[in-house]
Amino acid sequence: MNVTFVGTGAIGLPMALRIQQAGHTVTGVDVAEASRQRAQAQGVATVASFSEAPAAEVVVVMVATPAQLAALVDQAGAAADGQYWVVMSTVGPDAVREQGARLRQAGARVIDAPVTGGTARAATGELVIFAAAPTQELATVTPVLSAMGQVKTVGSQLGEGQGIKVVNQHLCSVHIVAAAEALNLARQLGLDPAAVLALVEKGAAGSWMLSDRGPRMLEGTDVTVSSAINIFVKDSGLVVSAAQGCQADVPLLALAHARYLAAAEAGLGQRDDSRVIETWQHTGQR
């Protein structure tokens, strides 16, 4: 299939590569010159705006925020007619419903399909995709989705995939902060955090986030960015908004969200999300 892939950043580029390696024709779109250069260096033709991309059957969206999704739909306009739009960004149920309605009015078919798994699983095609769409529409884009990971059909209505991702990001947000707090506790107790991590991560106290983020928490501020603090500022904020909308009580999430905000305010927004551990240092809790 001919695919326009919007958002060739840290996770978007390996996703686009997987689609291309599966035999589809891919054109990337990214406003950041550095992202375009990285994509082009790895063999993905990439342009700066949606209007520059050739006509495509499928548009995969991996922008960062609801506002960016809205701006992209503005740019697409009537060009979306007849296309299949796969919204894989984490933008929340309200945004995908609102922009999905606009796209459908323009003649597009819309699939709500956020992902989880991070950059490592994006590179190996092992993402988990929470897909919500009418059966036939989902079947049409499955050859593209399957190149990136395992498709989990969660419903047929827009917003159902994003709803699952909200729950997923609640847990991810809390688990990362819990891992940081525990490793900081180990250090305060006079223990070697690396030794503690190795001892506890495979037991009942372990989590995927502890094993994945824990080693990076021990490396230092300049660790390679897999997912930025600002992404979890946004994602945990979406969880807060969704919880408020349905009057759900999420006190643990609120504490985690405050930690990401504190990290961003300390100048760590573009750093790896593992650097949330530095908020204990910045707030004097050492």
Per-domain residue ranges of the chain: 2-157, 163-282
Question: What distance in Å separates the CA atoms of residue 248 and residue 163, rounded to the nearest whole number?
Answer: 13
Q: Is the pLDDT of residue 114 over 90?
A: yes
Displacement of CA 32 from its chain's centroid (Å) = 17
Q: Which fold has domain 2-157?
A: Rossmann fold (3.40.50)
What token pair was written down for 89?
């960004």
Q: What is the CA radius of gyration of the chain?
A: 19
Helix, strand or coil, per DSSP, at residue 60: strand
Q: Which of 152, 165, 202, 234 is catalytic?
A: 165
pLDDT for the residue numbered 211: 96
Q: Is 165 tagged catalytic?
A: yes
Kindly indicate the confidence band of residue 286, based on its pLDDT and cuts at 50, 70 and 90.
Answer: very low
Q: What pLDDT digit, counting tens, does each position of 22-59 carry?
A: 999 999 999 999 999 999 999 999 999 999 999 999 99
268: phi then psi, degrees, rounded to nearest 5 = -105, 10
pTM of the model: 0.89
Closest by CA to 21, choosing from 36, 51, 42, is 42
Q: Does residue 113 contact residue 87 with C-beta atoms inside 8 Å?
A: yes
Q: Does residue 254 contact residue 240 with C-beta atoms inside 8 Å?
A: yes
pLDDT for the residue numbered 154: 96
Question: What distance in Å separates the CA atoms of residue 219 and residue 40, rounded to the nearest whole number?
Answer: 30
pLDDT for the residue numbered 119: 87
Q: What pLDDT digit, counting tens, does each position of 117-142 carry?
A: 888 899 999 999 999 999 999 999 99
Name residues whose C-beta falls within 8 Å of residue 71's C-beta, 6 or more positions apart in sequence.
Answer: none
Q: How many helices (H) and strands (E) does the chain have?
A: 12, 9
pLDDT for the residue numbered 267: 96
Give the mean model confidence (pLDDT) for residues 242-260.
96
Q: Does residue 180 contact residue 217 with C-beta atoms inside 8 Å?
A: yes
Superfamily of domain 163-282: N-(1-d-carboxylethyl)-l-norvaline Dehydrogenase; domain 2 (1.10.1040.10)
pLDDT for the residue numbered 155: 95
Q: What pLDDT digit, counting tens, does each position of 163-179 carry?
A: 999 999 999 999 999 99
Question: What distance in Å separates the CA atoms of residue 55 and residue 278, rounded to the nearest whole number?
Answer: 46
Q: Is the pLDDT of residue 7 over 90?
A: yes
Give the mean model confidence (pLDDT) for residues 268-276.
96
